[in-house]
Amino acid sequence: MTKVGGWTIPETPEITEDVRKVLKEAVSGLDGSRIEPFALLGTQIVAGVNYKLVCKVTPVIPDAETKLSIVTIYKPLTEKAELKDITDI
């Protein structure tokens, strides 16, 4: 693993089951799009953990176009994970 500006960059962008659970928790109340993790860009330990992921985002409407987006999630130590940002790339 590599450290960059407080972020830990994994050697492989593999999505672990723990990361999938955090993403699922963060988007559990989000309607309108299906968000599928594609790659883990990095994590940052603060008063919890920040995650940056590349995800496939598909609106749940007919003929919707799938986009790649950078998704930022914050998981506090004792609370539910929060979706902080989605930026199309």
Where along the chain do its domains lie?
A: 2-88
Please write the tens of the pLDDT for every residue from 8-66. Answer: 999 888 899 999 999 999 999 888 899 999 999 999 999 999 999 999 999 998 888 99
Measured in whole angstroms, how far is the alpha carbon of residue 62 from the centre of its chain? 24
Q: Determine the 3-state secondary structure of 63 from DSSP.
A: coil
Q: What share of the chain is helix, strand, coil (3-state, %, to 5)?
A: 10, 55, 35
Q: How far apart are CA 83 and CA 65, in angstroms?
A: 21
pTM reported for the whole predicted model: 0.90
29/75: higher pLDDT: 75
**Phi, psi of 65, rounded to the nearest 5 degrees:** -90, 130
pLDDT band at 89 (very low <50, low <70, confident <90, very high): very high
The identity of residue 51, as a single letter, is: Y
As its CATH architecture, domain 2-88 has Roll (3.10)
Contact 71, 35 (CB under 8 A): yes
